[in-house]
Structure 1
Amino acid sequence: MQEKKVDVIILAAGKGARMKAEKNKMFLTLQGIPVLYRTLSQFNDFFRVDRIILVVRPGEENDINEMLEEFGPLRKIEPIVLGGKERYDSVKNGLQYLLDHRSADLVMVHDGARPFVTESLLERFFTGIEEKEVLLPVMPIFETVRKKLAEGKTRTVDRESLFVMQTPQAFHFNSIEQVFFSIEEGVFNPTDEASYFEHLNYTVRMVEGEKWNIKITTQDDLTWAQCLLTGYPDLKIQADLNI
């Protein structure tokens, strides 16, 4: 696996309604640099990445191009792919691009709103991934978790068996047709790439995630991201932090 390369699909086509901002959360800035540009830069600088397929919301192509002109071109980005109505539609559009243009050995799908993915995390995916499996980073849950039941009752859930999922999620190029395009449209509504593999009884394998690999979804997330950069101004893909 040492010499294998990866193509990365970056999803930036969401509405970002929970952010309650006037513009797409991807264009909100962290110390003057857009969240999306930081995410793209992380993968552009990772030596194993061959190409970056950026999936954007229809109508925002000019905004993306203006961002790249202002902050500098990233050589690994392919022509922009338009997203769909739901997340899985956008993923499939990105995967179809790879089918049409041939891919590297591995494919990763990553949220554009996760700008702090590190090299140390990405390297964990190159440990002998099998053809019919997907790898995904997870984090354990340390807080007590309660489940809401009927009639306003709640009960404690065993957190030892629960994990918070992150991206990127990785799989072999050959899995695109075998997994993602083999399921009849409308049979189920996948929430992430692992859902496809799970639906076909293929292997979903977890790797250790990182607590600073946060997804910027709300204003609180944006504030936390600013705090991370304030404490670690050189937070880049090479970082090996002990927060």
Structure 2
Amino acid sequence: MDELRHFAIIVAAGKGLRMDQKMKKQYLHLDGIPILTRTIMAFDKCDPVHEIILVVPKQEKMYCKTHIIDPYGFKKKIHLVEGGKKRQDSVLKGLNYIRDKMSRDKEAIIMIHDGVRPFVNQNIIKDCIWNAVEYGACIPGVKITDTVKHVSSDYFIQKTLNRENLYNAQTPQTFKLDLILRAFEHAGKILFLGTDDASLVEHLGHKVVIINGSKLNIKITTPEDLVLGKYLLTLKLS
């Protein structure tokens, strides 16, 4: 029986507007190394990951090859794929690239990860893979500990939500290839735009299991996140 292939799709096609910097957030440096490069490093050193698909804007493919990939001697194959207008379009382009590489009768496990989450740890990646093999769909998440308020458009509190079963979703969101392709196909037919990849699978009617993520698995989108990221590096987490 052929080995089940594990692909990581790292999505870095966004505009990075919230960072308020001239350079896109994924290309900003943390201790001399671009954030996106550090994210790739997390998957490059994870043994169960076989290949990496890096989805970036068409006009930035050469920049990424020259400044993000080539100087750092990655061991795994990294494929550069042109992104789309929205994140969902970019992920689909990465999925279609993998689908075209695979024989129709072959299954694979697909991890979809934010390019600006460089602190994902090895245990989270591995746990997502094994749970996706078992259940078809798995995401990491962190249980909400703060009180959560539902507010109106004019910022008056409508109600306090029960936080007992509320989680903040993280990435890598991980799926069997056939399942996530069906979810994207279904979403395209009904023009459903999800807030994350798991929401497309949920909309298809398939259950998604959640595992413990980490509060350190931050998404760097604001200047405050960048400060926190620099501090996390001093902890030598890996």
Name the residue aligned to 1:55.
55
Name the residue aligned to 2:82.
82
After superposing the two structures, state which structure 1 stretch, 180-189 or 92-101, moved more: 180-189
**Alignment length (residue pairs):** 232
Name the residue aligned to 1:168.
172
Name the residue aligned to 2:37.
37
Contact conserved, 1:131 with 1:175, CA < 8 A, in 2?
no
Contact conserved, 1:139 with 1:165, CA < 8 A, in 2?
yes
Instruction: Report the alpha carbon displacement of residue 159 of structure 1 after superposing the two structures with TM.
Output: 1.3
The residue identity in structure 1 corresponding to 2:221 is: T
Instruction: Report the alpha carbon displacement of residue 5 of structure 1 after superposing the two structures with TM.
Output: 4.0
Superposition pairs of residues 1-243 of structure 1, within 5 angstroms: 4-68=4-68, 71-102=71-102, 105-129=108-132, 133-149=136-152, 152-154=155-157, 155-185=159-189, 187-230=191-234, 232=235, 234-236=236-238
SS in 2 for 1:120: helix
Contact conserved, 2:187 with 2:193, CA < 8 A, in 1?
no
Distance across 1 between alignment mates of 2:43 and 2:204: 30
TM-score (norm. length: structure 1): 0.88
Q: Which runs of 5 or more structure 2 residues have no equivalent in the other structure?
A: none
TM-score (norm. length: structure 2): 0.90
SS in 2 for 1:196: helix
Distance across 1 between alignment mates of 2:6 and 2:145: 32
Q: Which runs of 5 or more structure 1 residues have no equivalent in the other structure?
A: 237-243
The structure in which a higher percent of residues are helix is 2
Distance across 1 between alignment mates of 2:70 and 2:92: 29
> What CA deviation, in whole Å up to 9, does each residue of 1:165-212 have, x standing for no partner?
000000112224432224444521122111111111111111111111
Q: Indicate the RMSD between aligned Cα atoms, in angstroms.
A: 2.0
Distance across 2 between alignment mates of 1:23 and 1:150: 32
Distance verdict in 2 for CA 1:127–1:61, change over 3 Å: closer
